[in-house]
Chains A and B, each alone.
Chain A
Amino acid sequence: MSLLEVKNLKKSFDDNVVLKDISLNVERGEVLAIIGPSGSGKSTLLRCITDLEQEDSGEINFDGTFGLVFQNFNLFPHHSVMKNITNAPIKVQKRDKSEVFEHARKLLSQMGLSDKEDAYPCELSGGQQQRVSIARALAMNPDILFFDEPTSALDPELTGEILNVIKDLAANNMTMVIVTHEMAFARNVADTIIFMDGGVIVEEGTPEEVFSSDNQRMKDFLGKFYD
Protein backbone atom coordinates (compact mmCIF):
# COMPACT_ATOMS: atom_id res chain seq x y z
CA MET A 1 0.00 0.00 0.00
CA SER A 2 1.16 3.52 -0.72
CA LEU A 3 2.21 5.76 2.13
CA LEU A 4 -0.21 8.44 0.95
CA GLU A 5 -3.27 7.91 -1.21
CA VAL A 6 -5.47 10.70 -2.50
CA LYS A 7 -8.63 9.64 -4.31
CA ASN A 8 -11.03 11.85 -6.27
CA LEU A 9 -10.36 14.93 -4.21
CA LYS A 10 -12.68 17.87 -4.87
CA LYS A 11 -12.58 21.33 -3.35
CA SER A 12 -14.36 24.60 -4.14
CA PHE A 13 -14.27 28.02 -2.55
CA ASP A 14 -17.81 29.30 -3.09
CA ASP A 15 -18.29 29.12 -6.87
CA ASN A 16 -14.63 28.73 -7.61
CA VAL A 17 -13.76 25.06 -8.23
CA VAL A 18 -10.13 24.73 -7.26
CA LEU A 19 -9.65 20.96 -7.26
CA LYS A 20 -11.78 19.07 -9.76
CA ASP A 21 -10.86 15.43 -9.30
CA ILE A 22 -7.41 14.76 -7.98
CA SER A 23 -6.00 11.30 -7.34
CA LEU A 24 -2.40 10.50 -6.57
CA ASN A 25 -0.19 8.10 -4.66
CA VAL A 26 3.07 8.69 -2.85
CA GLU A 27 5.30 5.72 -2.01
CA ARG A 28 7.71 5.57 0.89
CA GLY A 29 11.00 7.22 -0.12
CA GLU A 30 9.47 8.91 -3.15
CA VAL A 31 10.01 12.56 -4.00
CA LEU A 32 7.00 14.04 -5.78
CA ALA A 33 7.15 17.51 -7.26
CA ILE A 34 3.92 19.29 -8.11
CA ILE A 35 4.29 22.04 -10.70
CA GLY A 36 1.86 24.23 -12.54
CA PRO A 37 0.77 27.83 -13.00
CA SER A 38 -0.45 29.99 -10.10
CA GLY A 39 -4.06 29.24 -9.29
CA SER A 40 -3.85 25.69 -10.61
CA GLY A 41 -4.73 24.29 -7.17
CA LYS A 42 -1.29 22.99 -6.15
CA SER A 43 -1.23 24.71 -2.78
CA THR A 44 -4.88 23.93 -2.07
CA LEU A 45 -4.15 20.27 -2.72
CA LEU A 46 -1.31 20.39 -0.21
CA ARG A 47 -3.49 22.24 2.30
CA CYS A 48 -6.22 19.61 1.99
CA ILE A 49 -3.75 16.79 2.55
CA THR A 50 -2.30 18.57 5.61
CA ASP A 51 -5.76 19.31 7.07
CA LEU A 52 -5.43 23.08 6.74
CA GLU A 53 -8.42 22.96 4.39
CA GLN A 54 -11.37 20.60 4.49
CA GLU A 55 -11.98 18.88 1.15
CA ASP A 56 -15.56 18.81 -0.21
CA SER A 57 -15.34 15.18 -1.24
CA GLY A 58 -12.81 12.47 -1.90
CA GLU A 59 -10.51 10.42 0.25
CA ILE A 60 -7.11 11.02 1.78
CA ASN A 61 -5.51 7.90 3.20
CA PHE A 62 -2.41 8.54 5.23
CA ASP A 63 -1.42 6.88 8.43
CA GLY A 64 1.54 8.59 10.00
CA THR A 65 3.01 11.93 10.93
CA PHE A 66 3.78 14.67 8.47
CA GLY A 67 5.63 17.95 8.43
CA LEU A 68 4.82 21.02 6.39
CA VAL A 69 7.25 23.71 5.32
CA PHE A 70 5.53 26.98 4.45
CA GLN A 71 6.38 29.54 1.85
CA ASN A 72 6.61 32.22 4.55
CA PHE A 73 8.34 29.96 7.10
CA ASN A 74 5.84 30.78 9.85
CA LEU A 75 8.43 30.44 12.58
CA PHE A 76 7.29 31.55 16.02
CA PRO A 77 8.98 34.95 16.38
CA HIS A 78 8.97 34.97 20.18
CA HIS A 79 10.75 31.63 20.46
CA SER A 80 14.47 31.07 19.93
CA VAL A 81 15.59 28.81 17.11
CA MET A 82 16.05 25.98 19.60
CA LYS A 83 12.60 26.45 21.13
CA ASN A 84 10.98 26.64 17.69
CA ILE A 85 12.41 23.21 16.96
CA THR A 86 12.09 21.48 20.33
CA ASN A 87 8.84 22.78 21.78
CA ALA A 88 6.37 20.67 19.80
CA PRO A 89 8.29 17.38 20.18
CA ILE A 90 8.39 18.02 23.93
CA LYS A 91 4.90 19.50 24.47
CA VAL A 92 2.96 17.62 21.79
CA GLN A 93 4.79 14.33 21.30
CA LYS A 94 5.79 14.23 25.00
CA ARG A 95 9.27 13.06 24.10
CA ASP A 96 12.20 13.13 26.45
CA LYS A 97 13.72 16.60 26.69
CA SER A 98 17.37 15.64 26.40
CA GLU A 99 16.65 13.32 23.48
CA VAL A 100 14.76 16.10 21.67
CA PHE A 101 17.56 18.62 22.26
CA GLU A 102 20.13 16.17 20.97
CA HIS A 103 17.97 15.53 17.91
CA ALA A 104 17.53 19.28 17.36
CA ARG A 105 21.29 19.94 17.57
CA LYS A 106 21.88 17.20 15.01
CA LEU A 107 19.30 18.77 12.68
CA LEU A 108 20.77 22.24 13.15
CA SER A 109 24.24 21.02 12.28
CA GLN A 110 22.78 19.25 9.25
CA MET A 111 21.27 22.63 8.26
CA GLY A 112 24.57 24.43 8.88
CA LEU A 113 23.03 26.46 11.71
CA SER A 114 24.79 25.09 14.77
CA ASP A 115 25.78 28.59 15.87
CA LYS A 116 22.18 29.87 15.71
CA GLU A 117 20.59 27.85 18.54
CA ASP A 118 19.89 30.89 20.67
CA ALA A 119 19.09 33.31 17.86
CA TYR A 120 15.58 34.59 17.25
CA PRO A 121 13.98 34.30 13.81
CA CYS A 122 14.20 38.07 13.21
CA GLU A 123 17.98 37.82 13.48
CA LEU A 124 18.21 35.31 10.62
CA SER A 125 18.18 35.66 6.83
CA GLY A 126 15.22 34.26 4.91
CA GLY A 127 17.23 31.24 3.88
CA GLN A 128 18.29 30.58 7.45
CA GLN A 129 14.71 30.96 8.65
CA GLN A 130 13.53 28.46 6.07
CA ARG A 131 16.23 26.01 7.14
CA VAL A 132 15.09 26.37 10.75
CA SER A 133 11.52 25.69 9.66
CA ILE A 134 12.68 22.55 7.83
CA ALA A 135 14.53 21.47 10.99
CA ARG A 136 11.37 22.20 13.00
CA ALA A 137 9.35 19.94 10.69
CA LEU A 138 12.01 17.19 10.76
CA ALA A 139 12.21 17.26 14.56
CA MET A 140 8.74 15.69 14.63
CA ASN A 141 10.17 12.60 12.87
CA PRO A 142 7.65 12.89 10.03
CA ASP A 143 6.96 10.00 7.67
CA ILE A 144 6.44 12.52 4.94
CA LEU A 145 7.48 16.13 4.48
CA PHE A 146 5.39 18.59 2.47
CA PHE A 147 6.82 21.78 1.00
CA ASP A 148 4.52 24.59 -0.11
CA GLU A 149 6.62 26.70 -2.48
CA PRO A 150 9.54 26.73 -0.03
CA THR A 151 11.67 29.13 -2.04
CA SER A 152 9.08 31.59 -3.35
CA ALA A 153 9.84 34.14 -0.63
CA LEU A 154 13.60 33.94 -1.18
CA ASP A 155 16.03 35.57 -3.58
CA PRO A 156 17.91 33.31 -6.05
CA GLU A 157 20.99 32.95 -3.87
CA LEU A 158 19.00 31.87 -0.82
CA THR A 159 16.83 29.66 -3.02
CA GLY A 160 19.90 27.58 -3.86
CA GLU A 161 20.58 27.13 -0.14
CA ILE A 162 17.16 25.60 0.44
CA LEU A 163 17.20 23.48 -2.70
CA ASN A 164 20.48 21.95 -1.58
CA VAL A 165 18.96 21.08 1.78
CA ILE A 166 16.03 19.38 0.04
CA LYS A 167 18.42 17.51 -2.25
CA ASP A 168 20.28 16.20 0.79
CA LEU A 169 17.01 15.04 2.30
CA ALA A 170 16.12 13.27 -0.94
CA ALA A 171 19.51 11.55 -0.90
CA ASN A 172 18.62 10.31 2.58
CA ASN A 173 15.39 8.78 1.28
CA MET A 174 13.05 11.27 2.94
CA THR A 175 9.55 11.01 1.46
CA MET A 176 8.64 14.44 0.18
CA VAL A 177 5.91 16.24 -1.74
CA ILE A 178 7.14 19.56 -3.06
CA VAL A 179 4.97 22.25 -4.60
CA THR A 180 7.42 24.40 -6.49
CA HIS A 181 8.02 26.83 -9.32
CA GLU A 182 11.64 25.76 -9.65
CA MET A 183 11.45 23.68 -12.84
CA ALA A 184 15.11 22.74 -13.08
CA PHE A 185 15.08 21.69 -9.46
CA ALA A 186 11.91 19.62 -9.84
CA ARG A 187 13.42 17.87 -12.81
CA ASN A 188 16.62 17.24 -10.91
CA VAL A 189 15.36 16.05 -7.55
CA ALA A 190 11.92 14.50 -8.12
CA ASP A 191 11.17 10.85 -8.83
CA THR A 192 7.74 11.84 -10.08
CA ILE A 193 6.39 15.12 -11.38
CA ILE A 194 2.75 16.13 -11.47
CA PHE A 195 1.73 19.03 -13.66
CA MET A 196 -1.53 20.63 -12.55
CA ASP A 197 -3.64 23.15 -14.36
CA GLY A 198 -7.18 24.36 -13.69
CA GLY A 199 -7.68 21.99 -10.78
CA VAL A 200 -6.81 18.77 -12.60
CA ILE A 201 -3.66 16.72 -13.07
CA VAL A 202 -2.70 17.31 -16.70
CA GLU A 203 0.46 15.26 -16.78
CA GLU A 204 2.12 12.83 -14.43
CA GLY A 205 5.28 10.76 -14.74
CA THR A 206 9.02 10.72 -14.40
CA PRO A 207 10.79 14.04 -15.06
CA GLU A 208 11.87 12.75 -18.48
CA GLU A 209 8.30 11.83 -19.40
CA VAL A 210 6.77 15.07 -18.18
CA PHE A 211 9.41 17.38 -19.64
CA SER A 212 9.16 15.73 -23.05
CA SER A 213 5.37 15.56 -23.00
CA ASP A 214 3.39 16.24 -26.15
CA ASN A 215 0.58 17.81 -24.17
CA GLN A 216 0.10 21.31 -25.52
CA ARG A 217 -0.73 22.90 -22.15
CA MET A 218 2.36 21.33 -20.64
CA LYS A 219 4.50 22.50 -23.54
CA ASP A 220 3.14 26.06 -23.27
CA PHE A 221 3.89 26.13 -19.56
CA LEU A 222 7.41 24.76 -19.93
CA GLY A 223 8.02 26.96 -22.94
CA LYS A 224 7.80 29.98 -20.69
CA PHE A 225 10.66 28.62 -18.64
CA TYR A 226 12.82 27.77 -21.61
CA ASP A 227 12.39 31.21 -23.21
Chain B
Amino acid sequence: MILSKVIELLLGGMVTSIEIFLLTLLFSLPLGLVVAGGRMSKFAPLRWIAKVYISIMRGTPLMLQLIVVFFAPYYVFGINLSADYRFIAVIIAFTINYAAYFAEIYRGGIESINSGQYEAAQVLGYSKFQTFFIIILPQVFKVVLPSITNEVITLVKDTSLSFVIAIPEMFTVAKQIAASEASIAALLVAGVFYYVFNMIVAFVMEHIENRLDYYE
Protein backbone atom coordinates (compact mmCIF):
# COMPACT_ATOMS: atom_id res chain seq x y z
CA MET B 1 0.00 0.00 0.00
CA ILE B 2 1.39 3.41 -0.90
CA LEU B 3 1.89 5.97 1.80
CA SER B 4 -0.71 8.42 0.49
CA LYS B 5 -3.34 5.68 0.71
CA VAL B 6 -2.27 4.90 4.29
CA ILE B 7 -2.53 8.56 5.22
CA GLU B 8 -5.95 8.82 3.59
CA LEU B 9 -7.26 5.84 5.57
CA LEU B 10 -5.75 7.12 8.81
CA LEU B 11 -7.25 10.57 8.29
CA GLY B 12 -10.63 8.86 7.96
CA GLY B 13 -10.00 7.18 11.33
CA MET B 14 -8.82 10.45 12.76
CA VAL B 15 -12.22 12.04 12.12
CA THR B 16 -13.71 9.42 14.45
CA SER B 17 -10.92 10.03 17.01
CA ILE B 18 -11.67 13.75 16.95
CA GLU B 19 -15.40 13.06 17.35
CA ILE B 20 -14.73 10.93 20.41
CA PHE B 21 -12.37 13.58 21.76
CA LEU B 22 -14.75 16.52 21.33
CA LEU B 23 -17.92 14.73 22.48
CA THR B 24 -16.13 13.42 25.56
CA LEU B 25 -15.00 16.92 26.53
CA LEU B 26 -18.42 18.37 25.75
CA PHE B 27 -20.11 15.98 28.20
CA SER B 28 -17.44 15.26 30.80
CA LEU B 29 -16.37 18.83 31.58
CA PRO B 30 -19.85 19.86 32.84
CA LEU B 31 -20.57 16.42 34.33
CA GLY B 32 -17.33 16.68 36.31
CA LEU B 33 -18.64 19.88 37.88
CA VAL B 34 -21.84 18.10 38.92
CA VAL B 35 -19.83 15.21 40.40
CA ALA B 36 -17.57 17.69 42.23
CA GLY B 37 -20.72 19.28 43.64
CA GLY B 38 -21.85 15.88 44.91
CA ARG B 39 -18.40 15.13 46.27
CA MET B 40 -18.47 18.36 48.31
CA SER B 41 -22.16 18.17 49.26
CA LYS B 42 -23.21 18.65 52.87
CA PHE B 43 -25.59 15.72 52.32
CA ALA B 44 -23.53 12.66 53.34
CA PRO B 45 -25.19 9.97 51.11
CA LEU B 46 -24.63 12.11 48.02
CA ARG B 47 -21.05 12.72 49.07
CA TRP B 48 -20.48 8.99 49.43
CA ILE B 49 -22.05 8.12 46.10
CA ALA B 50 -19.76 10.61 44.40
CA LYS B 51 -16.77 9.31 46.33
CA VAL B 52 -17.43 5.66 45.38
CA TYR B 53 -18.08 6.64 41.77
CA ILE B 54 -14.81 8.55 41.53
CA SER B 55 -12.96 5.74 43.25
CA ILE B 56 -14.23 3.11 40.79
CA MET B 57 -13.65 5.27 37.71
CA ARG B 58 -10.09 6.03 38.75
CA GLY B 59 -9.35 2.63 40.20
CA THR B 60 -10.20 0.40 37.23
CA PRO B 61 -8.80 0.38 33.68
CA LEU B 62 -10.55 2.58 31.16
CA MET B 63 -10.28 -0.29 28.67
CA LEU B 64 -12.28 -2.50 31.01
CA GLN B 65 -14.85 0.24 31.48
CA LEU B 66 -15.23 0.51 27.70
CA ILE B 67 -15.90 -3.20 27.41
CA VAL B 68 -18.35 -3.21 30.31
CA VAL B 69 -20.32 -0.24 29.00
CA PHE B 70 -20.49 -1.82 25.56
CA PHE B 71 -21.43 -5.36 26.59
CA ALA B 72 -23.38 -4.84 29.82
CA PRO B 73 -26.72 -3.92 28.20
CA TYR B 74 -26.76 -7.29 26.41
CA TYR B 75 -25.08 -9.62 28.89
CA VAL B 76 -26.53 -8.11 32.08
CA PHE B 77 -29.92 -6.86 30.96
CA GLY B 78 -30.51 -8.85 27.78
CA ILE B 79 -31.13 -5.71 25.75
CA ASN B 80 -30.33 -5.81 22.05
CA LEU B 81 -28.98 -2.47 21.04
CA SER B 82 -28.58 -1.11 17.53
CA ALA B 83 -25.24 -0.93 15.73
CA ASP B 84 -25.06 2.75 16.62
CA TYR B 85 -24.66 1.80 20.26
CA ARG B 86 -21.01 0.90 19.67
CA PHE B 87 -20.11 4.55 19.23
CA ILE B 88 -22.51 5.70 21.97
CA ALA B 89 -20.88 3.23 24.37
CA VAL B 90 -17.48 4.77 23.68
CA ILE B 91 -18.78 8.26 24.42
CA ILE B 92 -20.52 7.09 27.61
CA ALA B 93 -17.45 5.23 28.88
CA PHE B 94 -15.05 8.09 28.15
CA THR B 95 -17.44 10.67 29.57
CA ILE B 96 -18.05 8.95 32.90
CA ASN B 97 -14.36 8.13 33.25
CA TYR B 98 -13.09 11.63 32.50
CA ALA B 99 -15.84 13.29 34.56
CA ALA B 100 -14.38 11.54 37.62
CA TYR B 101 -10.93 12.99 36.98
CA PHE B 102 -12.31 16.43 36.17
CA ALA B 103 -14.44 16.31 39.35
CA GLU B 104 -11.36 15.89 41.51
CA ILE B 105 -9.57 18.68 39.65
CA TYR B 106 -12.55 21.02 40.11
CA ARG B 107 -12.78 20.10 43.77
CA GLY B 108 -9.15 21.05 44.33
CA GLY B 109 -9.75 24.31 42.48
CA ILE B 110 -12.91 25.19 44.39
CA GLU B 111 -11.28 24.42 47.73
CA SER B 112 -8.33 26.65 46.83
CA ILE B 113 -10.54 29.75 46.67
CA ASN B 114 -10.16 31.91 49.76
CA SER B 115 -13.21 31.98 52.05
CA GLY B 116 -12.98 35.79 51.97
CA GLN B 117 -14.31 35.65 48.41
CA TYR B 118 -17.50 33.95 49.61
CA GLU B 119 -17.81 36.38 52.50
CA ALA B 120 -17.37 39.45 50.31
CA ALA B 121 -19.98 38.07 47.90
CA GLN B 122 -22.39 37.33 50.75
CA VAL B 123 -22.03 40.81 52.22
CA LEU B 124 -22.72 42.31 48.79
CA GLY B 125 -25.94 40.32 48.65
CA TYR B 126 -25.08 37.86 45.87
CA SER B 127 -27.21 34.71 46.00
CA LYS B 128 -25.45 31.35 46.40
CA PHE B 129 -26.01 30.69 42.70
CA GLN B 130 -24.59 34.08 41.67
CA THR B 131 -21.66 33.70 44.04
CA PHE B 132 -20.71 30.41 42.46
CA PHE B 133 -21.09 31.37 38.83
CA ILE B 134 -19.98 35.03 38.95
CA ILE B 135 -17.31 34.98 41.67
CA ILE B 136 -16.02 31.46 42.31
CA LEU B 137 -16.18 29.46 39.08
CA PRO B 138 -14.27 31.93 36.86
CA GLN B 139 -11.43 31.88 39.40
CA VAL B 140 -11.58 28.09 39.63
CA PHE B 141 -11.13 27.75 35.86
CA LYS B 142 -7.91 29.70 35.98
CA VAL B 143 -6.59 27.59 38.84
CA VAL B 144 -7.47 24.22 37.29
CA LEU B 145 -6.55 24.94 33.69
CA PRO B 146 -3.03 23.41 33.79
CA SER B 147 -4.45 20.21 35.31
CA ILE B 148 -7.28 20.16 32.77
CA THR B 149 -4.70 20.50 29.99
CA ASN B 150 -2.94 17.39 31.27
CA GLU B 151 -6.16 15.40 31.17
CA VAL B 152 -7.12 16.67 27.74
CA ILE B 153 -3.74 15.61 26.33
CA THR B 154 -4.18 12.19 27.92
CA LEU B 155 -7.64 11.97 26.39
CA VAL B 156 -6.22 12.43 22.88
CA LYS B 157 -4.09 9.34 23.39
CA ASP B 158 -6.80 7.43 25.28
CA THR B 159 -9.17 7.65 22.31
CA SER B 160 -7.02 4.86 20.84
CA LEU B 161 -8.40 2.48 23.50
CA SER B 162 -11.65 2.43 21.52
CA PHE B 163 -10.03 -0.22 19.32
CA VAL B 164 -11.03 -2.71 22.03
CA ILE B 165 -14.67 -2.52 20.92
CA ALA B 166 -13.72 -2.13 17.27
CA ILE B 167 -14.56 1.53 16.74
CA PRO B 168 -12.91 2.55 13.45
CA GLU B 169 -10.87 5.37 14.94
CA MET B 170 -7.31 6.09 13.91
CA PHE B 171 -5.53 3.51 16.02
CA THR B 172 -7.93 0.73 15.03
CA VAL B 173 -7.36 1.59 11.37
CA ALA B 174 -3.60 1.76 11.84
CA LYS B 175 -3.53 -1.65 13.49
CA GLN B 176 -5.57 -3.18 10.68
CA ILE B 177 -3.28 -1.76 8.02
CA ALA B 178 -0.20 -2.85 9.96
CA ALA B 179 -1.58 -6.39 10.24
CA SER B 180 -2.57 -6.71 6.61
CA GLU B 181 0.63 -5.14 5.27
CA ALA B 182 2.96 -6.79 7.80
CA SER B 183 4.56 -3.37 8.33
CA ILE B 184 4.56 -0.88 11.17
CA ALA B 185 4.63 2.12 8.83
CA ALA B 186 0.95 2.85 9.42
CA LEU B 187 1.46 2.76 13.20
CA LEU B 188 4.35 5.21 12.92
CA VAL B 189 2.24 7.55 10.82
CA ALA B 190 -0.56 7.23 13.40
CA GLY B 191 1.98 8.16 16.08
CA VAL B 192 2.88 11.30 14.17
CA PHE B 193 -0.80 12.16 13.82
CA TYR B 194 -1.42 11.79 17.58
CA TYR B 195 1.63 13.91 18.25
CA VAL B 196 0.47 16.70 15.93
CA PHE B 197 -3.05 16.48 17.40
CA ASN B 198 -1.61 17.03 20.87
CA MET B 199 0.63 19.87 19.73
CA ILE B 200 -2.49 21.63 18.55
CA VAL B 201 -4.26 20.84 21.84
CA ALA B 202 -1.30 22.18 23.85
CA PHE B 203 -1.20 25.30 21.68
CA VAL B 204 -4.92 25.98 22.17
CA MET B 205 -4.76 25.38 25.93
CA GLU B 206 -1.75 27.65 26.25
CA HIS B 207 -3.66 30.31 24.37
CA ILE B 208 -6.57 30.00 26.80
CA GLU B 209 -4.17 30.17 29.75
CA ASN B 210 -2.65 33.34 28.35
CA ARG B 211 -6.10 34.82 27.89
CA LEU B 212 -6.74 34.25 31.61
CA ASP B 213 -3.42 35.82 32.55
CA TYR B 214 -4.88 39.30 32.94
CA TYR B 215 -5.07 38.86 36.71
CA GLU B 216 -3.24 37.03 39.47
On A, residues with C-beta under 8 Å from B are 50-52, 66-68, 70, 72, 74-78, 87-88, 91-93, 120-122, 136-137, 140
Contact = CB atoms under 8 A, between A and B. Distances in A.
A221 to B, nearest CB: 28
Contacts of A87: 134
Given A87-B134, A91-B134, A76 B125 contact: no
A122 B216 contact: yes
Contacts of A78: 138-139, 142, 215
Given A76-B117, A76-B135, A88 B125 contact: yes
Contacts of B124: 88, 92, 136, 140
A93 B125 contact: yes
Interface residues of B, number: 20
A77 B125 contact: no
Interface in B2-19: none
B130 interface: yes
A224 B215 CA distance: 41
Contacts of A75: 120
B116 A72 contact: yes
B106 to A, nearest CB: 17
A52 B122 contact: yes
24 contacts: A50-B123, A51-B123, A52-B122, A66-B123, A68-B123, A70-B116, A74-B119, A75-B120, A76-B117, A76-B120, A76-B135, A78-B142, A87-B134, A88-B124, A88-B126, A91-B126, A91-B134, A92-B124, A92-B130, A122-B215, A122-B216, A136-B124, A140-B124, A140-B125
